[in-house]
Amino acid sequence: MIILSQKLNLKLFSTDVEQVSTRKGFGEGLIKAAEADKRIVGLCADLTESTQMEPFKKKFLERFIEIGVAEQNLVTVASGMAAMGKIPFVGSYAIFSPGRNWEQIRTTICYNNQPVKIIGSHVGVSVGPDGGSHQALEDIALMRVLPRMVVISPCDAIEARKATIAAAKKDSPTYIRLTRNPTSIITTEETPFEIGKAQIVFKSEVRGTKSDPLRRSFSEARTNSKSKNPNSQFDVGIIATGALLYRALKVAKKLETEGKNVIVMNLATIKPLDEHAIIKIAHETRALVTVEEHQIRGGMGSAVAECLAAHFPVPIEFIGVKDQFGQSGQPDELLEYYGLSEEDIYAAVQRVVLRK
């Protein structure tokens, strides 16, 4: 069941769960942050409306700079403004920023150590009809490799708003990746959020013992495997980042009804990685599935694997895009085509448990 202390949306699993895009949450967060701190400025590369910087521009016109279609300039100008004490938020599509301007971000933001906040909207194949050229699937890899860069991938609009406000208060370069289309609201105003902290959002009620028929299949699989783990209470852990967390939760709920014990983690901050929490979930479950709308190579799952390979190796199945570009289509059909559906997560759980 969902973890009550995380105060998640109680309508989470109902069919009419509210749908809002994370970019909208960012737009609201930017206003809140700017009201609280005069140093915040906004810069946009000709995408003010679709990155949701429009409300900021309307309210704080004197603190807004229209850069035009020039993403290298977007971040280098922001670096200069930060050098003078500003806290710049720069908005574009993730394909263009941090896609096109990576070296400028490396040199003028990270190497210069300026607290610029890079907002990359339109990530993942769920961008939909615009097609593969506009579906950022490499941005986590590009940003998490940079020293000093904080990388955040909010799971819903409310978390995106909180991440924006938190990023404004943090004195480091930060990247926030956002979705174009509305996604299910998972959290509430009361859900805690802290940069760098992973959250357990779902835990099955541990029931019975191996005699429980509902658990038999997984228990047998575990007993037959070579790395027996009498201590682990849970069958599997799912670590998700971004809007796909919603699908991970639905899979967990299904597994729970089948009598399987599942933990689900919301890993909103990909860097710095909450290594303590990741080692803990690995210890408790001994089998993990990572879920993200990004290339498998270099993404959140890779970050988790790097951590666990060094500290507590367990089998991992990776849900993500498999070295491919996206294409036009409706978000749901694309998620299915690229292996990011609930069925894919469910199947990955079955596979990883057998590898225990």
Partner 1 sequence: MPLTDEKIKVLEAKARDIRRSIVESLIEAKSGHTAGPLGMTDIFTYIYFHALRHDPKKQDWSYRDRLVLSNGHICPVLYATMAHAGYFPVSELKTLRKFGSKLQGHPHREFLPALENSSGPLGSGLSQTVGMALADRMDNGRTSGKQFYCLMSDGELNEGNTWEGAMLAGKERLQNITAIIDRNNIQIDGFTEDIMPLNPLLDKWRAWNWHVQEIDGHNFREIDESLGQAQAVFDKPSVIIANTIASRGIPAFERKFEWHGKPPTTPNEIETARLALKNARTLGGHVESPHHN
| Minimum distance of partner 1 from residue 285's CB (angstroms) | 41
The DSSP secondary structure of 181-243, one letter per residue, reads S-EE----TTS---TT--EEEEEPPP-S-TT-GGGHHHHHHHHHSSS--TT---SEEEEE-GG
77 binds partner 1 (CB under 8 A): yes
Q: Which of 18, 35, 49, 71 is catalytic?
A: 71
d(CA 18, CA 298): 31
| Minimum distance of partner 1 from residue 103's CB (angstroms) | 6
37 binds partner 1 (CB under 8 A): no
Stretch that binds partner 1, among 107-115, 163-171, 305-313, 346-354 (CB under 8 A): 107-115
Among 14, 15, 85, 147, the residue binding partner 1 under the rule CB under 8 A is 85
Rank residues 51 and 104 by Cβ distance to partner 1 and give the closer one: 104
Task: Kindly tell me the burial class for residue 224, based on how many C-beta atoms sit within 10 Å of its own C-beta (0-12, 13-18, 19 or more).
Answer: exposed
Take residue 246 and report the two structure tokens written for it. 């919603």
Stretch that binds partner 1, among 101-109, 124-132, 237-245, 326-334 (CB under 8 A): 101-109
51 binds partner 1 (CB under 8 A): no
d(CA 258, CA 261): 9
d(CA 264, CA 4): 13
End-to-end CA distance of the chain: 23
| Minimum distance of partner 1 from residue 107's CB (angstroms) | 5
| Minimum distance of partner 1 from residue 241's CB (angstroms) | 31
CB contact at 8 A, 75 and 105: yes
62 binds partner 1 (CB under 8 A): yes
35 binds partner 1 (CB under 8 A): no
| Minimum distance of partner 1 from residue 169's CB (angstroms) | 19
Sign of CA dihedral 24, 28, 29, 31: positive
61 binds partner 1 (CB under 8 A): no
41 binds partner 1 (CB under 8 A): yes
Stretch that binds partner 1, among 28-36, 100-108, 232-240, 242-250 (CB under 8 A): 100-108
Among 54, 55, 59, 73, the residue binding partner 1 under the rule CB under 8 A is 73
* Unique residue bearing structure tokens 């995408």: 47
Which residue in 71, 72, 75 sits closest to 83, CA to CA?
75
Alpha carbon distances (Å) from 288 to 152, 154, 300: 21, 20, 13
CB contact at 8 A, 186 and 9: yes
Sign of CA dihedral 328, 53, 141, 155: negative
81 binds partner 1 (CB under 8 A): yes
Q: Assess whether 18 carries a catalytic annotation.
A: no
| Minimum distance of partner 1 from residue 147's CB (angstroms) | 11
Catalytic residue list: 71
Residues in contact with partner 1 by the rule CB under 8 A? 41, 62-63, 65, 67-68, 70, 72-73, 76-86, 88, 103-104, 107-108, 111-113
